[in-house]
Structure 1
């Protein structure tokens, strides 16, 4: 066995850069604990609360990455991470398998993708569609998740029990924190978890609204800039779809393979300026509005 392969197998983490992931998911509960103990109205606490909300975004991306490529070389550490992410996010870690890996990555925003953005009220890309998409996606994804759990019950009862224990863990944590102080629980735990869940689902709208769900390359939008340094290269979405098992550190290089193949509209630059142009500026200047890449025939077929 080559020495490099031996060193890779001897490490617990698959990739050393995942220390950044660990820093995020360890910092989040520590920050909650600090604000729980020091519930003062101050500029510092306001800034820390903003950091807390940002970390909920990072945790969602880490969950996404962990579902595609397990973070550890040890099974027990991966299972421990599953439960840790479950508690941090307020929803079971397993939901990524049926809702994301088995649905979204399989159908790539095409007509069989149950949460495709053009399913809800037409092919849109505006502020109202962005705000509503997480709610709309939840309505169609949870029946998919429950059907998947029923199949698990018939085929792999032990796996089903493992998944149900994740629901139990969330319920017990919520009851405990709510019993200790329900005001702090709502402000420091539940509201940030809902914020993270909103962004987790709304990202689908950012990355796919007005993209062509029938194209082999133009089905996703890519973002460049600071979002990738802070959020594990989440902006390089086309490359991720084509290489779902690639570690997030590989995505910048893979992105260069596809960038020149995409419609220019799908390489809009940094995320926040794109959101400002598309969701705010377009309200004042309609010519700034997004244009769909899907043909009328494809829209009518879906």
Structure 2
């Protein structure tokens, strides 16, 4: 609605800022819907898939092979194509900014392989997912034909902003965590981030219970909190960003430190660790 209002009435900084935040919210809804569909019946879920595809600016189906079958299966370990330490065991602002592009390049071969397999073995499902791609690309083509400037600035950029946060969340939640530890593979953010964005910061509980409804995560988080390394429990998202990304480059004591054992060789991640 905010995008449509600005399309008609012109750019407004507060409306634009709100549309950027809502784009992040759509990304979280996209993520949650991929794990636990909103509805119990196929047709409402398919309608929701199409709505999210239009709002997100990318097909909803991609999260199944890239996220559920990859990231949640391997939990940031050596076989996780989007593991943060694949691109260097670091945790800083440039790493966060680049991670979505790096992760997309790493996981899209999985998506394409999955689509080819569906085309051979489940053609009806394949056609449904291709329809999502057609809807996404068709919507962009239509808006660009109507007004390239408005389409890019008011719709596509906010959508890309939301997609960046969808992929960059992997970096925030896993960079410098220890994928070899039972409960040390994820960072958890407590505080106001969670009521604003469907408890997205309670990541250990989410990994341990991937199909749990987002409203159940605070209770589940309390169950696992004492088992998680205290260095992976952040009292607030904003203070974490300020400490690690803003002040860390100038104050070494504030920088993040990797919890992965030094014996791990990034060039040979499958080697057993001590």
TM (norm. structure 2) is 0.96
CA contact (8 A) 1:214 1:298 kept: no
CA contact (8 A) 1:221 1:267 kept: yes
CA–CA distance in structure 2, aligned partners of residues 109 and 73 of structure 1: 30
1:126 aligns with 2:92: yes
Partner of 1:298: helix, strand, or coil?
A: coil
1:166 aligns with 2:135: no
1:50 aligns with 2:17: yes
1:25 maps to which residue?
Answer: none
CA contact (8 A) 1:98 1:145 kept: yes
Partner of 1:228: helix, strand, or coil?
A: helix
Give the alignment partner of residue 178 of structure 1, picking from 122, 144, 165.
Answer: 144
2:219 maps to which residue?
Answer: 253
Give the alignment partner of residue 31 of structure 2, picking from 45, 64, 80.
Answer: 64
CA–CA distance in structure 2, aligned partners of residues 299 and 106 of structure 1: 22
Q: CA deviation at 1:299?
A: 4.1
CA RMSD in angstroms comes to 0.9
Q: CA deviation at 1:78?
A: 0.2
Residues matched between the structures, number: 268
Partner of 2:249: helix, strand, or coil?
A: helix
2:262 maps to which residue?
Answer: 296
CA–CA distance in structure 2, aligned partners of residues 284 and 299 of structure 1: 28
The superposition leaves residues 22-63 of structure 1 with CA deviations (integer Å, 9 ceiling, x where unpaired) of xxxxxxxx11111111105xxxx2111100000000000001
CA–CA distance in structure 2, aligned partners of residues 127 and 145 of structure 1: 27
Give the alignment partner of residue 200 of structure 1, picking from 166, 185, 190.
Answer: 166
The superposition leaves residues 11-32 of structure 1 with CA deviations (integer Å, 9 ceiling, x where unpaired) of xxxxxxxxxxxxxxxxxxx111
Q: CA deviation at 1:255?
A: 0.1
Give the alignment partner of residue 111 of structure 1, picking from 65, 69, 78.
Answer: 78
CA–CA distance in structure 2, aligned partners of residues 268 and 71 of structure 1: 29
1:24 maps to which residue?
Answer: none
CA–CA distance in structure 1, aligned partners of residues 155 and 18 of structure 2: 14
CA–CA distance in structure 2, aligned partners of residues 268 and 66 of structure 1: 26
